[in-house]
Each structure stands twice: as structure tokens, then as C-alpha cells.
Chains A and B, each alone.
Chain A
């Protein structure tokens, strides 16, 4: 009963003094919205990249000469296959193809479509891809960014590559890669390995690199040692290194935003503290009146605590819901470019909804605690002064 009266009074104060709270709610919503947006984007990108990386080979090897990457002999494929514990060895031919007039570049990846694994992955990626028709003519699969770029330059059905020998290679656009893969495949062109060799002028006995899997994690270091013993000029890239590099990239970008957020929150909390500490503020008078009619210091702090906890919770829910809609429904216009960058081809990414509740809990905690402290400390200071003084 006691609590129901208190709750009734608390609700009354919140509703009747909404103009007093609206500023704090608005600023809180903006801060929580921005922070949640950054975290949602960062988590979603990390999730997407990790999902993509999961499908990638565990190792990529290539040949180096004086520290510079050069073409890898195709015979290495056979040699690597002979190592125990290695599976799914596949040669790749890839490179950046510059579209000179505009200074843009495509990532051309040539793969062996007759390889069973590659074949299955392509069928999964593009359900209606007719492999027979695809391979019967020089065709390619392009990322959405490539497709839009080529279309803007009047290459709607095919594109003519210039080979190092000075001849031209016309390749038909067979299909566009799904939008979900835009994060890494926006500027990508996938085509048969032989066509890629022709475009880059690479001989039949050479590839750019070789990928393979080692299902037993414990053997990874052994395999690396074996590779170094087998080839003195090998460079080995592990999937976990790539994963770490991506994580660092997005953590760094997210970290910058976190610093900005901290600066904002500290400023806001200082403003709040100032507002509540003001000698002639309405809060001061209100506390004085309540003390004069019999409210104890504890009662005052309880009222202020619940009043501001409600403000924090309402702001938090609003901020998070708005951020969710902005990122996962509207695809974070403006902000997404900061994360993705559009230096090469403009990218449009669909963010996969990823919500880390632990992270949201942390945002709430790190926002609510300073907010409540900024209000409760001055409220307590007023409450301990004689009511007569506070009411002045």
C-alpha cells in the first residue's frame, strides 16, 4: 500500500513535470542512439565478416621473392596435397584490375569451377546458376558495386578486359553476387581460373596463390613448419590472422566513436550536475518543501532515484529501438560509409541484425550510473540542508 502511494506520486511528478525532464530525455536518447548505432554496426560487420571467413580456407600460401609476392608455381598444389592432414587444396588466380579512365579497381578472382568444393559453394551462393552455360562461354559473376559501376559506364551485359599482350577479352556478366556478400564482394569479379590467367597474363603453370584447409587445429603450427621446410620462399597467411586484422579494424573505428561518446557523456553529466546544484533551482525548492512536510532524506533520495531511473530507462529503450531501426531497417544511411568507406566503388551493405545483450547491459550501466550520480549527489546535498534554507 505504501509503495502504491509512492508510485502514484512518482508517476504524477513525472507526467506533470514532463517539460522539466524532456531535455534530459532528448539528450539521453541521442547519446544512447549514437552509441548503440555504432555498436550495432560494428557488431553486425564483425559478425558478417566472421561468417564469411568461416567459409574461407584455413591457409593461403604464395611465393615471395626478396619479400615481394610473385606468381606461385602450380606444381606446389600437388606437393601441398601430399602433406598429411591437409584437405581441399585449391589454386587461385587473382589481382586488381584497374579501370584506367576512372582510377577504380576490381578484384578479379579466378577459381576452378570444376573443383567440387568451389562448385558446391557457387551453387549455394547462386541457386539458379547454370554452370554448363556459365562455363560454355567466357562469363563472370560480379559484385553489386561492380555491376553498378559497369552499368554507369554502359557495360550492361559484358565487359572487355585489356590483357597484358594488348589483346581484348570480352567476358559476359552472368550473374550478380547476392547483396549479403557486399561487405567483401562488392568490388569482386569471380570467373573461371583460365580466363583470369588470360586477363593477368599468367602462364598455365602458375597461380597467384594456393588455399587449403587443415581440419585439425592442433596441427596448424606443424603444417606451417612443414611448408617452410618444403619451400624456402613461401609466405603463409593464416585465417586467424585475417580474422584478427578485421577485428582490429572495426574495433579501432568503434573505439574512436567510444571516445567521442565518453566526451559527450562527461559533458552531459557535468551539465546535469550543474543544473541540480543550482542554488535557486526549482529542484532545490521542491526538495525543501517535501522535507518541510515530513519527507526524510532517504525518502527524497528514493524519489529522485526512481524519477531519474525512469528517465534513464525510457531514454535507453527509445535510444536502442531507434538505433535498431536506423541500422537494421534503414541500413544506417550516412554512418555506414564511415565504417565501410567508399574510396573505390560505392558500397551498399545490408546489416545483419546482431544484438549483443551483454554490450547493451554495459551501455545501460555506464550511462545510468553517472546519470544517477549526477542527480543524486546534488539532491542529497540539498536534502541535508535545513528545509527552511532549501525553500528560499
Chain B
């Protein structure tokens, strides 16, 4: 078992009158190499669940275990190491450093890896090729199209060869052609044995033949689990 989520709750603004329960008693297991779709309307809790698995936030209660490591209670230094080694995240709004180029954005992940420059360079090249963005390596992010930014974000998510890839609404800001390109890259990554979780409400993903599981979230709870 790769990811094990048990009785996870997430409450924002806990203990205040504005308290909001985003996730309620979530139980989920993800096997190694699986491709899972988390769907549901906006505000259903998809992105929150994804950020908890990514270690970007902590659950209010419950446990999240990844590869046997309890990540829901990790102190900052270990949580950062977990993000830097185990997961690669592709965000809806790409979240790239606008002043840097494609390769520099990708490199940012490896700054504290302890690797030497030639190794880092070859890893960057490899990930950029996988994401089909190598031709724009030195281009500044601010000059890229939405699709190119997305591919840069993919290259950044892949560069450290993570076991888990998490995508938050990856096609929300793309046109159909770029969305299909993204799906192609996704398929290749799935074939490579990566564990992939995609939070989306794009119906395009529901018809994909290589999806292992579709989980429907509603009001912070899992309503349906389709194998």
C-alpha cells in the first residue's frame, strides 16, 4: 500500500465562528502505480485532500501514511524533505517563479538535494524532455503560453523522480489541445509506474481507459468509489 488515509478531518479556522469543515472522516487507500481521479464540484474538498497528501497542510485529525511513514504529523524539516523527495505537485495556477526561466524553475526543486551540478543538469534535461518543454528551457516563464507553463510545472514535478504525482485541476487553465497533450504525458507517467492522483472536475478524465479509480467527493466526504 502506497498511501493510506484514515479518518481524516480538516477544519479551517478551527475554534472560531468561521470554522469550516472541508473534509469529513476520509478513508482511502491508494496502491503503488495507481492513477486515481478525485472529482467533485468546487468546494467539495478535492484540493484540500490533495494538499494533505502533498504535505502542504496538516489534517485536523486522522492519519495519512505514505510508504509506511506517517506524514500527517511530520515536523517542518521532515515534511519539507518528504515534499522534496516523494511527491511532485502540479498546481492549477502552475505556481512558477515568474522571473526565472523554465530550467531555473525546474532546478529550484534540486537546490538542497546535495547533488552535483552535472547530475542536476542531466536530471533537468530529462524531466524537460519528458514534459516536452526542453525547447523552451531558457525562456522566461512570463513569456510562455498556458500550455507551456503547464508543461514546465510537469517538468518541475518530475525532476526529482518522485514516487507520487499530484495534480490539482491540471487542465482548468488549458485549451482542449493542451489538455490532450497533458493526458498523453500522464499516460506515459502511469506506464512508468508512478502513483498519480488527480483532483479535477473535467469530464475528460472520466473516460480515460488507464484510470484505475474515480473517487467522487461531495461536501467533504467520499460519496462514490468507482474501480
Contacts and interface: CB of A to CB of B under 8 A. Distances in A.
B76 interface: yes
B116 A293 contact: no
A128 B108 CA distance: 71
Contacts of B95: 285, 288-289, 292, 391
Interface stretch (A2-10, A152-160, A315-323): A2-10
Interface in B39-94: 51, 54, 56-58, 76-77, 80-81, 83-85, 89, 91
B89 A5 contact: no
Interface in A346-392: 384, 386-388, 391
Interface string B196-208: 0000000000000
Interface residues of B, number: 34
A342 B109 CA distance: 63
Interface string B152-175: 000010001000000000000000
Contact of A294 (B84, B115, B117): B84
A297 B78 CA distance: 11
B128 interface: no
B97 interface: yes
Interface string A1-40: 1101110110011001100100000000000000000000
A296 interface: yes
Contacts of B100: 12-13, 16
Given A5-B111, A296-B77, A289 B57 contact: no
Contacts of A219: none
B15 interface: no
Given A293-B156, A294-B84, A17 B99 contact: yes
Contacts of A298: 77
B56 A299 contact: no
B110 A386 contact: no
Given A388-B51, A388-B56, A388-B57, A1 B108 contact: no
B120 interface: yes
Contacts, number: 87
Contact of B84 (A5, A285, A293, A387): A293
Contacts of A289: 95-97
Interface string A258-297: 0000000000000000000000000001101111111111
A345 to B, nearest CB: 57
B112 interface: yes
Contacts of B76: 296-297, 384
Interface centre among A295, A387, A391 (most CB of B within 10 A): A387
A86 B199 CA distance: 98
A289 B157 CA distance: 12
Interface in A219-260: none
Most buried by A among B104, B108, B110, B113: B108
Contacts of B109: 293-294
A2 to B, nearest CB: 5
Given A5-B120, A298-B77, A386-B57, A293 B112 contact: no
A218 B91 CA distance: 81
B97 A294 contact: no
A127 to B, nearest CB: 63
Q: Which 3 A-B pairs have the closest CB atoms?
A: A294-B84, A296-B80, A294-B83
